[in-house]
Structure 1
Amino acid sequence: MNEKQKTKLGLYLCSVLIMGVIAISSNLANIIASFPDVSSATVITCLMSVPFLLVIPTSLLSGKLMSYFSKKKLIITGVLFWIIGGLAPYFLTSLPAIAVMRGLLGAGIGLMQPSSNALIVEYFDDQAERKKTMGQLAASQMLGLIMFSLLSGTLGTLGKWNITFLIYLIGIIPLIGAIILLPDITPTKRKTSTGAKKQFVATKFIWVWILGAMIFMTGAQTYSNTASELIQELNLGNSIDAGYSLSFYAVGGLIIGLIFGKISQKLGKYTVLFGGDLVIIGSLL
């Protein structure tokens, strides 16, 4: 296995963790039932919304941190945050304390995701290979979602509401993979020919893209946050069935991720439009 193959494997292992916030979604109804004195909206906020709120500032901060620390170090730190923040609620009974740990989980994802993408851009010069690797990275994320949904749903049938948090022990494998496989590249500050630092300027298109991504993620999270509770409320099944529903939700992303490189080559600038159309059609169906 050459260095590039090792790097890809390390990134794929870590990307499995990116959808870690949703890992407990299949068992969300059982967790809500374990806090009868707290509204379901409050429980969902602590378990699902708080991590994503921490993802945003940490992702923005990671861009600055990449100027001082190698991407490998940031990814490893993110994985450690992911494991600690994900596993700690197993030992806790206080909802505010659980929310703090879930926030740490979100911070870990906020470090991992941008750093992984940046490492691909930095390490792979060939445009086609870069796009293919990006697609496979996304496919690994969907594979992680499928795995987490099924395992969480199965754990949810074992009785205790908190046992589903043991699923975060899986993070130990990507942690070892990141330490062994990822290259430790010393960061360098990029400068223009005049010696001044390059400044990123967001265009109107970028802001439109950000707004569209926010709307999409809002819809996606609404589904994952309510699927488990809705399925059990309507007597359609248990946490295992909720896991199946979330797994099928991720299958499409897995397939597209595996062939993203070819799709991008064929469609070019229309790739994003094609993806948006698929989302709209799937939502309507």
Structure 2
Amino acid sequence: MSNHHNASSLASILSLSAVSGVSTIVTGITPQLHQQFSSVPTTVIEWTVTVANLSALLTLMVNPFLTTKFGVRRVVISGLLVSGIFGAMPAFITNFYFLFICRVLLGLGIGLFSPHAISMIAHVYNGDFRARLLGYQTGISALGNAVLLAIAGLVITISWHAVFAIYMLLVPIALLAFRYLPNVASGERQKNQPKDKLPRLQLGLCILAFFTYLIIWGVQLKIPVLFSAQHIGTAAVANWTLSAMNIGGLVAGLTFGRLHKRFAGFTLSIGYFGAGLSVLAMVLFQSPVIVIMAAVFFNFIYSYTGPYIVYRSNLGLSDQLINQVSSYLTIATIISAFFAPVVWNWIGRFGPGDLADNVLVWIALLLVLIAIGSTVFARRERGVKN
């Protein structure tokens, strides 16, 4: 295999990370959806953003069977094409229920390709290079989201319908996968191997991943609402802020290795505690500049938690368990997206402020509590090693 082909294969694998969060690019148009479909409840409108993550769970569960039967490349290409076609269809749809169905079908495609953003790295690469790529994976995902949200911020000035046309960008990603993606049928290779049991620590990290993404979904869903309530710019400004937040995530992903080398398990505490302070700043300060800067800093500091959870959950596991924990982590992120509107809209009823302010205050408190818990765990783990 030539160096060029190696570089192209790597590009095709990392491109899956770049579009793994593609369902979020319509997050910034929730106020427009509220206006267009005023009779639809708030939770259902927000489910329009997150329902794709839930339907992705269906194809995610049958993914091992499909990759064993057809190979990874065919499954990934099919998922990218399904997501591209049905993701873009709402650009031409005015009926809310048809739009909602298209979002469900989008998720079926996402469930076909998204788990391979992590598992392909674990299967194709080894040693230190694999460890670095697992760290970069979060940064590349953040960069992809940032670019897509920035494009959405420009396109939304045309109309909210036009934002859905961005999903057609998945088609060239499918062509790249067709040409260069390695065809690894990992399930077939492991069929006759005895099943190992996933350690409790990894199960705990999967549960932590659920709450971690539940929180970030709460922040991302309420930022456009907060901007609208505090009159912080237009819908385009909200999209560009979400884009800038992902740039912060990119920086965190690229610098994760150095931070983890210095602070080890305390990396989680830094991420959760810093995120809690930044969310609190969004609520307490009315200045648009401070709110935008706090939002960007939130995603920067919070993005240290994701790579740590992925890195620590894969550490010392067999290939079979790497597949298992990767699936569990993906499932955790998917179901968190579904529950986020329900959980936060219910919790937001309790508090002195409006819905968005109350949600962000509760999120800040939860982040501080998790930071304290992760600090206690890190101290105990360090004590055991010493």
TM bucket normalised to smaller = 0.7 to 0.9
How far off is 1:69 after superposition? 2.6
How far off is 1:55 after superposition? 2.7
Partner deviation per Cα, 1:17-71 (whole Å, 9 max, x = no partner) = 11111101122211221112212222111x1231121233433332333322322
**Corresponding residue of 2:166:** 167
**Corresponding residue of 2:14:** 12
1:41–1:256 Cα change, 3 Å: same
CA distance in 2, matches of 1:66, 1:267: 39
Partner deviation per Cα, 1:185-232 (whole Å, 9 max, x = no partner) = 45563459xxx4331423322221121111111111111122223212
Is this contact kept in 2: 1:131–1:261, CA < 8 A?
Answer: no
**Structure 1 residue 73 corresponds to structure 2 residue 69:** no
- Name the aligned partner's letter for residue 18 of structure 2: V
How far off is 1:132 after superposition? 1.7
CA distance in 1, matches of 2:233, 2:190: 58
**Corresponding residue of 2:207:** 211
**Structure 1 residue 122 corresponds to structure 2 residue 123:** yes
**2:225 aligns with one of 220, 223, 229:** 229
CA distance in 2, matches of 1:132, 1:278: 19
**Corresponding residue of 2:236:** 240
- Name the aligned partner's letter for residue 282 of structure 1: A
1:129–1:53 Cα change, 3 Å: same
Q: SS where residue 149 of structure 1 aligns?
A: helix
**Corresponding residue of 2:35:** 33
1:119–1:154 Cα change, 3 Å: same
Q: SS where residue 242 of structure 1 aligns?
A: helix
Q: SS where residue 67 of structure 1 aligns?
A: helix
CA distance in 1, matches of 2:270, 2:75: 35
User: Superposition RMSD on alpha carbons, in Å?
Assistant: 2.3
**Corresponding residue of 1:143:** 143
CA distance in 2, matches of 1:129, 1:95: 46
1:34-53 aligned within 5 A:
34-45=36-47, 47-53=48-54
Aligned residues: 276
**Corresponding residue of 2:131:** 131
- Name the aligned partner's letter for residue 29 of structure 2: N
Q: SS where residue 93 of structure 1 aligns?
A: coil
1:156–1:71 Cα change, 3 Å: same
Q: Say which is worse superposed, 183-192 or 131-140, in terms of deviation.
A: 183-192
**Structure 1 residue 197 corresponds to structure 2 residue 196:** no
CA distance in 2, matches of 1:48, 1:200: 36
Return the structure number with greater relative CO, CA threshold 8 A, min gap 6: 1
Q: Which 4+ residue blocks in structure 1 deviate beyond 3 angstroms?
A: 185-188, 259-264
**Structure 1 residue 176 corresponds to structure 2 residue 175:** yes
CA distance in 2, matches of 1:276, 1:2: 41
- Sequence identity of aligned pairs in percent? 20
1:144–1:276 Cα change, 3 Å: farther
**1:253 aligns with one of 213, 227, 249:** 249
Partner deviation per Cα, 1:81-129 (whole Å, 9 max, x = no partner) = 220221011122222222221122222222222223222222113x111
1:262–1:190 Cα change, 3 Å: farther
Q: SS where residue 141 of structure 1 aligns?
A: helix
1:277–1:204 Cα change, 3 Å: same
Is this contact kept in 2: 1:44–1:225, CA < 8 A?
Answer: yes
How far off is 1:262 after superposition? 5.0
Is this contact kept in 2: 1:87–1:166, CA < 8 A?
Answer: yes
How far off is 1:172 after superposition? 2.0
Is this contact kept in 1: 2:12–2:180, CA < 8 A?
Answer: yes
Is this contact kept in 2: 1:228–1:242, CA < 8 A?
Answer: yes
- Name the aligned partner's letter for residue 130 of structure 2: R
